[in-house]
Amino acid sequence: MSDLAITGLLVLSLFLILGSGVWIGLTLSGVAWIGMQLFSARPAGDAMAVTIWGSASSWTLTALPLFIWMGEILFRTRLSQDMFKGLAPWVQALPGRLLHTNVVGCTIFAAVSGSSAATCATIGKMTLPELTRRGYPEHMVVGTLAGASTLGLLIPPSIIMIVYGVSAEVSISQLFIAGVLPGILLAALFSGYIMLWALRHPDQVPAADVRMTFMQKLAESRSLIPVVLLIAAVLGSIYTGFATATEAAAVGVVGSLILSAVQGSMNWSTFKASLMGATRLYCMIALILAGAAFLTLSMGYIGLPRHLAEWIASLGLNKAQLIAALAVFFIILGCFLDGISMVVLTMGVLMPTVQAAGIDPIWFGIFIVLVVEMAQITPPVGFNLFVLQGMTGRQLPWIAKVTVPMFLLMCGAVALIYIFPGIVTWLPQQMAAR
């Protein structure tokens, strides 16, 4: 049976099982079992048991539930209100004024959450009603929030980076460091777009609030101190080499518990809700990872990754063409799968090809995160679009339409990190040289 026929059968099985409503993790395991039973001599049951146990017992993966729990704790604190209070006085002088709180707020919260959906929901609860009440255009409020909240994936600590690091066997600490400058770049592009829009439509920007002195602005900024300290504790422990990514996640959980207790928002019900929310989300991710690990093994026994790599190599694509093809591939895939599924489902197949093309796996990880960010705001399976639909009551096509400028800016960011790869690789190289 030809590779094309085998691939077609497995892809058809994947979509049929997914379409029947079966969980993604179980679907991946089921397709892998079908592949091994039909096209491999190794017993599928034995391979499934060994692979799932191996993927579930990874020490590196321990960072994932801890970072998820940290985000769940912060999601239930007064952090968002305090952030708006501290940020608003500093952006009044910029073209676009308080619209920048979406970008700056998401950038800051991304550094302590690791999830774009959590960032979107948390910052959205703060900015959507406040900016709408002040008269800012709804399409700009929703569009900039949808785009900026994807920074939850790019700015470390990032759940998707941990998943990629485990799947591609790449240093998670190096990935975290590599995500800093691209995250700042993307945030700057979003703010730059807001300024250009405001200069073109000055009549749509509400008047500034009462002017504050520098000392009054500093006084308002006191509410930012807790979150800044938490970011410094988590990221500083990684960058200084004091802690691994897993140990830094534990530092973040302890810090967020202390922060919520000091704010007076930690009680037994909050603690239980945060723990159960993190447990549910991590169990879903762990099941997907286990299924994807088994599928990767199955594909290896069948030989599809090797044949795919040989086929791509036979096309004679240069590095730029390969990156462009992969970007289109992931954007299309993102219309049907969530980011974590995209990464774990494809890394086993793609990494040999990427390495053969001479692409730095750290750089490729940031590239993957950027294109997965695009998938967060592309219908029909754009998680951030679903979050915003629930918060605004708007229809999905309208929300997708107002996020198009943010999508194009992300495309521009991908082009920039390709033309100037040092944006990704410079900081990890500096840290490694110490």
d(CA 415, CA 419): 6
Q: Predicted confidence band at 188 (pLDDT cuts at 50, 70, 90)?
A: very high
Question: What pLDDT does residue 338 have?
Answer: 66
Q: Predicted confidence band at 313 (pLDDT cuts at 50, 70, 90)?
A: low
Q: Predicted confidence band at 142 (pLDDT cuts at 50, 70, 90)?
A: very high
- Predicted confidence (pLDDT) at residue 85 exceeds the cutoff of 60: yes
Q: Predicted confidence band at 145 (pLDDT cuts at 50, 70, 90)?
A: very high
**102-127, pLDDT tens digit by residue?**
898 888 878 776 677 777 877 787 78
**367-392, pLDDT tens digit by residue?**
999 988 888 787 766 677 877 887 78
- Predicted confidence (pLDDT) at residue 185 exceeds the cutoff of 90: yes
Query: At which residue do the structure tokens 């995209």 appear?
Result: 342
Retrieve residue 101's tokens. Answer: 């709180």
- Predicted confidence (pLDDT) at residue 190 exceeds the cutoff of 70: yes
From 384, 348, 328, select the one nearest 163 (Cα to Cα).
Answer: 348
Question: What pLDDT does residue 366 have?
Answer: 94
- Predicted confidence (pLDDT) at residue 53 exceeds the cutoff of 60: yes
Q: Are residues 257 and 266 in contact, defined by beta-carbon separation less than 8 angstroms?
A: yes
Question: What pLDDT does residue 33 have?
Answer: 85
- Predicted confidence (pLDDT) at residue 1 exceeds the cutoff of 60: no
Give alpha helix (H) positions in 40-99.
Answer: 44-56, 63-75, 79-91
Instruction: Calculate helix-pair angle for 159-168, 339-356, nearest 10 degrees.
Output: 40
Retrieve residue 19's tokens. Answer: 């379409």
- Predicted confidence (pLDDT) at residue 294 exceeds the cutoff of 90: no
Please, is 296 exposed, middle or buried when counting C-beta atoms within 10 Å of its C-beta (0-12, 13-18, 19+)? buried
